[in-house]
Amino acid sequence: MTNYRIGIDVGGTHTDAVILDEFYNVISVVKSPTTEDVSTGIYAAMKDVVASAGVPVEKIKFAMLGTTHCTNAIVERKRLNNVAVIRIGAPATLAIKPLVGVPEDLKAILGKHVYIVRGGHEFDGREIVELDEQHVYEIANEMKGKVDSVAITSVFSPVVNSHETRVAEIVAEVLGDDVALSLSNEIGSVGLIERENATILNAAIVNVARSTADGFVQALQKEGIHAKVFFGQNDGTLMSVEYTVKYPILTIACGPTNSLRGASYLTKQSDAIVVDVGGTTTDVGVLIGSFPRQSSLAVEIGGVRTNFRMPDITAIGLGGGTIIRIADDGSFQIGPDSVGHLLHKKSLIFGGDTLTTTDVAVALGKVELGDSSLVNHLDNALLEKIYSHMIEMVEETVDKMKTSSDPVPVILVGGGSILFPAELKGASVVIKPNNSGVANAIGSAISQVSGQIERIFSMNELGREKTLELAKEMARQEAIHAGADPNELVIVDFEDVPLAYLPGDATKIRAKSAGPLAKN
Amino acid sequence: MRFIGKEEIENIAIGAALLGTGGGGDPYIGKLMALQAVEDYGPIRLLSIDEVPDDALIVPSAMMGAPTVMVEKIPNGEEAVAAFKAMKEYLGKEIFATMPIEAGGVNSLLPLALAARLGLPVIDADGMGRAFPELQMVTFYLDGVSATPMVLSDEKGNNLLLNTINNMWAERIARTATIEMGGSVMLSIYPMDGKTVKRSAIHHILTLEEKIGRTIREAKERNEDPIEEVLKLTNGHRLFKGKVTDINRKTEEGFAKGTATIEGVEDYKEDECFLHFQNEHLLAETKDKVLCSTPDLITVLDSDTGMPITTEGLKYGARCVVIGMPANPKWRTPKGIEVAGPRYFGYDLDFTPLEDLVNKEWN
């Protein structure tokens, strides 16, 4: 029996939706405007794509959503939870209080209930001091009725998480099960401040994630669709609703990831550079083994430093709606501003008054779109110059993302990709797949399920080989727990970094395993 | 005398990362500690070295252990104070000021946090002019100053006073104790009088770091390349530009050792740079020539932002510029080279000053 899946991806300008069959064949695609509240756009895209697919709704078994709800909530500082911050670390850590370095407006919202209690562990798993449970009870009673989400962070919890779990038990005992608990060892890696920040942000967007997930499930049900719902995360893999509501922070930056993964799927390329041309910007990323290359820098979300790993993306101000200004002396400037989603009103070919990159491509006969007679009067020689410059901008960015001068496959996706030619300098081949305009929604639909661990191991205990195998097995178990098919798991990311100055060959290992959804 | 506030701390942190030559620990934690201390206790007085009386007691402050531990188990703030009190009691004399022993990395900023807490001034000098991994790798040692008496303090309240027969023993005992105490401790170390500091320290180093940091931040705001300005400030040379294509790491004797391979772009196309590190970048070479070696400074900068990249932050695909900067003349003496030259770190070559290596290339 054939079954189907819906993939939806929310972008800055468009919300895209696709329906695929179980063999990932594209059945229908829809592009609709992203709305202010995001949800309305998602529901509209979902309805349209279901209507145009003409498949029996009861056969839609999975629905994958990549959304910007959580990112927007942090950036706009809206709809955030009433958060309490508990750090387990005294007498250590007092020299830097929680939320130091966080922008003041966000600190004012998230810093109303901040506590530091005695406890935490050393790097090798010893207790620094015993956990002060009495103090935790006092804190829990004090915040009762005032908070609905608690961020709990303990020193070296990526090594030993027992103090975090004990504090979580006490908080749940006093405040009841309705209060959301975010435990840092489940969210971030070694680096107290960054992990604590990520945990606090996670705690702050639990309600947003819950209402987004509930809204999406209800919208599907209204259409008669009883699918299993998943959310996309940063690393190109999926989370169940249950997981998303617990770890909403992991949905940040799923957009660029989805477009990279979709491009990989559509072209069957595992190692390539992906150029995603939108309305306002072009995002360039790198596929390694079908997954996005990760950035090595600490990332800021809404001005808050965290230690997430994000896809390594370079964005330039060049898209389909980018405005071109020509001076009297014939010199020109490309962008960086854009008419964005008003392309169909403002650009020349649609009867508007603004010269855009799309107008240039149409006037030169590179693309057929709108009314080309409206751009006939433009100076062709000048347009050629502008067009070559646009291509150079893309070529230069591609080159910067490469790791050698060897030509690599370049995949062009996104609504604006029609502007660009089938040849680019530095590219072994330029691929423009079918349905490239909705690569991100496809990326969302085909995502795999993953599990990841990151912690410090002492290589002396088991020896290197066995330790590495143990770490991989732990990652595999995480993936199976998240819903992956145990028979098709692969290790997609593995890194071991020896820790300076520590004996016993203390090594930080990160392992990630991913695989397709289990069938049942 | 001038005051150090938040703005100056932000700048010093960037300069400290640059002079950290890839190691010394991410100054970020030290910066946050100094910022919070300034917020709680007010700005810090920075003294030029000629404002220090010859007979004044100066006690440098530093952390010892793994910076990776410190970013997780952040200090209490009182460890350094306790280490100071114990030193003061032992020596029976008031402490006039503190200073960094290591300007590179996290240790440049920790004395600032301490100074704010105690209301003591900081002297604009250090004992390395960069970052190095071992206690005896300071210019004070080159002049025969003893590292001990030294005090190690942890956040639990443990203090350990060491008097050792020489600095090598101080290093051995302190390192073992540090691990037992939880992997990261605060030290008071190399107590000296003002006269000795004047003779043996590297002067004006915090001011230099502040200038470097300000240059990089201002260039970033104007979207300009800060690297040329940084080279002017440090008498440095551009050694290579490229992308990291390979990283090979291993841990030996508690040190993160390894080699990064950087594939050249632009002027360096078709060439490869091999960057050898042991916590710090110690040797940069191509297939056929040495570009720079310890004790001269080698730093890797992000080619877009000019911000320094640490050895731990060196990742496959990173686009970077490698620069070399001459070490303070104290390091280029036979004793300096013996203590921190290429052979000490196990590289089979003699030290050649950066300028000579660069000039050779032109001839």
Q: What is the pLDDT along chain A (520 residues), one digit of tens a residue?
A: 688 999 998 877 788 899 999 888 899 999 888 887 888 889 999 999 999 999 999 999 899 998 888 888 888 888 999 999 999 999 999 999 999 889 999 999 999 999 999 999 998 888 999 999 999 999 999 999 999 999 999 999 988 889 999 999 999 999 999 999 999 988 888 889 999 999 999 999 999 999 999 989 988 998 899 998 999 888 788 888 888 899 999 888 788 888 899 999 999 999 999 999 988 889 899 998 888 887 756 677 888 888 776 788 888 889 999 999 999 888 999 988 888 778 888 999 999 999 999 999 999 999 899 999 999 889 999 999 999 999 999 998 888 787 666 789 999 998 888 899 989 988 999 999 988 888 888 888 888 888 888 777 888 778 888 998 999 999 999 888 878 889 989 888 787 776 655 556 777 788 888 888 876 5
Beta strands in A215-317, from DSSP E residues, in sequence order: 228-232, 237-240, 272-277, 282-288, 291-292, 299-301, 304-306, 314-316
Whether the ω angle into residue A498 lies within 30 degrees of 0, i.e. cis, is no
Can you tell me the ipTM of this complex? 0.86
Our measurement of the distance from residue A10's CA atom to the centroid of its chain's CA atoms, rounded to an integer in Å, reads: 11
The domain segmentation of chain B, as residue ranges, is 2-205, 225-362
Residues 275-334 of chain B whose Cβ lies under 8 A from any Cβ of chain A: 279, 312-313, 315-319
Question: What's the token pair of residue A486?
Answer: 């145990």
Q: Does A101 contact B at CB distance below 8 Å?
A: yes
Closest listed residue to residue A206, CA positions, set A38, A110, A70: A70
Phi, psi of A437, deg, nearest 5:
-65, -25
Which residue on chain A is closest to B317 by alpha carbon?
A: A403
pLDDT of residue B131: 95
DSSP letter assigned to residue B243:
E
Angle between helix A69-76 and helix A192-204 axes, rounded to 10 deg: 100
Q: What is the pLDDT of residues B192-221, one digit of tens each?
A: 999 999 999 999 999 999 999 999 999 877
Q: Which CATH class is domain B225-362?
A: mainly beta
**Rg for chain B, CA atoms, rounded:** 19
Length of chain B, please? 363
CA distances from A520 to A210, A245, A318, A484, A498 (A): 25, 22, 44, 10, 40
Q: Does A430 contact B at CB distance below 8 Å?
A: no
Q: Does B255 contact A at CB distance below 8 Å?
A: yes
Nearest by CB to A101, from B32, B183, B243: name it.
Answer: B32
Residues 6+ apart with CB under 8 A from B61: B80, B83, B84, B98, B99, B100, B110, B111, B114, B186, B187, B188, B189
- Map residue B203 onto helix, strand or coil: strand
Question: What's the token pair of residue B15?
Answer: 């300069």
State how far the Cα of A433 lies from the Cα of A448, in Å rounded to an integer.
21
Which residue on chain A is closest to B79 by alpha carbon?
A: A92
CA angle A329, A334, A339 (to 5 degrees): 120
Whether the ω angle into residue A336 lies within 30 degrees of 0, i.e. cis, is yes
Closest listed residue to residue A141, CA positions, set A179, A97, A89, A99: A179
Question: Residue B8: is its pLDDT beyond 70?
Answer: yes
Is there a contact between B317 and A403 if contact means CB atoms under 8 Å apart?
Answer: yes
State how far the Cα of A460 lies from the Cα of B75, in Å rounded to an integer.
28
B2-205: in CATH 3.40.1610.10: yes
Task: Report chain A residues whose CB lies below 8 A from the CB of B67.
Answer: 500-501
Q: Does B172 contact A at CB distance below 8 Å?
A: no
Please give the average per-residue pLDDT across B48-58, as a whole number. Answer: 96
State how far the Cα of A308 lies from the Cα of A295, in Å rounded to an integer.
9
- Is pTM beyond 0.90? Reply is no
Q: What is the pLDDT of residues B142-171, one digit of tens each?
A: 999 999 999 999 999 999 999 999 988 999
Distance from CA of A122 to the nearest CA of B (A): 6
Question: Helix, strand, coil % (nearest 5) of chain A?
Answer: 40, 30, 35
Question: What's the token pair of residue B322?
Answer: 């490698």
Contact B236, B326 (CB under 8 A): yes
Q: Does B104 contact A at CB distance below 8 Å?
A: no
Residues 6+ apart with CB under 8 A from B221: none
The label of the residue with tokens 């695609």 reads A29
Contact A10, A258 (CB under 8 A): no
Is there a contact between A501 and B183 if contact means CB atoms under 8 Å apart?
Answer: yes
| End-to-end Cα, chain B, rounded Å | 46
Is there a contact between A500 and B68 if contact means CB atoms under 8 Å apart?
Answer: yes
Q: Does B76 contact A at CB distance below 8 Å?
A: yes
Task: Report chain B residues whose CB lies below 8 A from the CB of A293.
Answer: 317
Question: What's the token pair of residue A86?
Answer: 């508990």
The label of the residue with tokens 């909530």 reads A73
Two domains, one topology: B2-205 and B225-362: no
Contact B104, B281 (CB under 8 A): no
Question: What's the token pair of residue B198?
Answer: 């004047």
